[in-house]
A and B are shown apart, each in its own frame.
Chain A
Amino acid sequence: MKIEKTKQIFLLILLIVAFTLPGKVVAQVANDPVKLKVLCYNLRFGELASLDELADFIKSQNPDIVALQEVDVKTKRTLAPRQNGKDFITELGYRTGMLTAYAKTIPYAGGYYGIGILSKYPFTETRRVMLPMPEGSKEQRAMLFGNVELPNGKLLTFVCTHLDYPSSEVRLVQVEALNQVLKNNPWPMIVAGDFNADPVSPEISKGMSAWKQVSSSDFTIPSKSPHSKIDYIFCSPANSWKAISANTPRVSLSDHLPVSAELELTF
């Protein structure tokens, strides 16, 4: 009788362990901090480097997600004859093994000019959102929004952008629009791009004040003798992100220097 009861208790404990332990293990893994490396690079439509060179550089950095600006698709530019007809984002995806998303901003030289994202991890959604063109704007610009599913099953919103160059007023309107689009976004976010604005400009100092700036303060342009920083990586919400390191590699594959950051995301 006693042995029978002991058996039953043992079985019960076994069942409880069997049904609760795996759940807890999965939950812990899902909530563990995630380390990510982010890279942001304005490619200057490949005028200064081949796609192989650009892909080799990206691979050497081993990033998880990359924001790219001045990305051509099938253009025929006189300034970059060796790139004629190439689909930059797809070819870079091929050469790096990463998944791709692209937002055309304008038709140009028989093809498109725009921005792109490379990601090691799959997108669950991508969307192009055109930025406003207030008085004084020169070119249509956009933000490329991608939700990425991380290996722990959690989602991350990654945004790539390239703001217009003519004036601070124009960019401030575009930054406000970007903030408005992302206002109610429920996932942790990274915005990376060429803002065409230095850190003390109102579009950065005020417009992006709610964000945590995680790229280094090194100058990014012109790449040969940089004297200005206009390329950034921002994160939100600030308390979910920890910057482990930030780097501005000195490479001359474009007129910009790339910026990278190693980050830790806590859920």
Chain B
Amino acid sequence: MRQKRSSLLFLALSLTMYISCNKSNDPAEQLPEWNKNRTITIQFYSRLTKESLFKTADYSQAMNQIRSGNQQVAVFHRADVIYETAVTVNPTVSVASEAGKVPFFVCNRYSGNRAEGSGILIGHTVARMEAIPVSTGCTWFLVPTRVNTAIAMNFATISFENESQMTSGAEIIRKNLTDETVLVGVVDKTHKDKLTSEFAAKSYRVSLIESTNSQASQSLFVLTTQKWVVREHTETPIGTDGILSFNLQIEAL
């Protein structure tokens, strides 16, 4: 009973946790009123640790959430592909098929019998996608998505584990991030200050999102030009083994 109450309390806290844009470049900035018609939704699944996302082949909770959600993009951070002798275990394509989405996979590195990386799901086929290797364990990924007739968005993602990745990655981001790009990535907590300083220029907007899970060694970040702003995020646990689901509401200004 007590456990149930604690879970409910945690859920309620998570759901009502509005973004403070922890590290927005300009805290005094006056934003216009939130236009929800120009807002995109991204669902980001991660443990925010160095572990792979799925420990078993049961993806049902994430799949149900995606199937019933209104997100334009879903990301499975560290949904590694595992090459077994007889089969390839690929959570992203499994969820995509069940949820009626189109899957992509960004490979950060090969390690033993697995390709470590992230899965991305969107709602339509595309004419192109691009992944640029930054350095070992780090890849820039971009796919154009169609939100609606009024909003064009290129979705991008990247994960930073160390400082050298960030130095090379920052250059690639500056070169490829346009007014249409929404970059949602993961950064090791020890390097988040470096990230915000790399993009301290007025032309960028960085929002760092910390998990309520004290075990998390990584932070989520959203990086855009001033044409976008994170309006709200919520964090909910998926299942009981540490998978976190972040719902991000990002407005095109």
Contact = CB atoms under 8 A, between A and B. Distances in A.
Given A94-B96, A94-B98, A120 B128 contact: no
A102 B102 contact: yes
Nearest to A118: B93
B148 interface: no
Given A122-B115, A128-B128, A93 B93 contact: yes
* Chain B interface residue bracket vs A: 20 to 34
A94 B92 CA distance: 8
A193 to B, nearest CB: 18
A262 interface: no
B88 A120 contact: yes
A149 interface: yes
A176 interface: no
Interface in A141-162: 149, 151, 153
Contact of B127 (A91, A98, A124, A127): A127
Interface stretch (B17-25, B48-56, B129-137, B196-204): B129-137
Given A90-B102, A122-B81, A149-B107, A99 B127 contact: no
A90 B97 contact: yes
A124 B97 contact: no
Interface string B75-111: 0000001010001111001101110111111110010
Nearest to A147: B131
Contacts of B130: 124-125
Contact of B129 (A120, A121, A125): A125
B133 to A, nearest CB: 7
B169 interface: no
B125 interface: yes
A234 interface: no
A208 B108 CA distance: 35
B90 A97 contact: yes
A123 interface: yes
* Chain A interface residue bracket vs B: 20 to 34
A140 to B, nearest CB: 13
Nearest to A101: B129
B185 interface: no
Contacts of A128: 127-128
A95 B103 CA distance: 13
A103 interface: yes
A104 interface: yes
A141 to B, nearest CB: 14
A124 B96 contact: no
A126 B110 contact: no
Interface of A: 73, 87, 90-91, 93-104, 112, 120-128, 149, 151, 153
Given A91-B97, A124-B133, 11 more contacts: A90-B97, A90-B102, A93-B90, A93-B96, A94-B94, A97-B81, A99-B81, A100-B102, A120-B83, A122-B117, A127-B128
8 contacts: A87-B97, A90-B100, A97-B88, A97-B89, A102-B102, A122-B105, A122-B131, A127-B127
Q: Which 3 A-B pairs have the closest CB atoms?
A: A94-B97, A97-B88, A122-B107
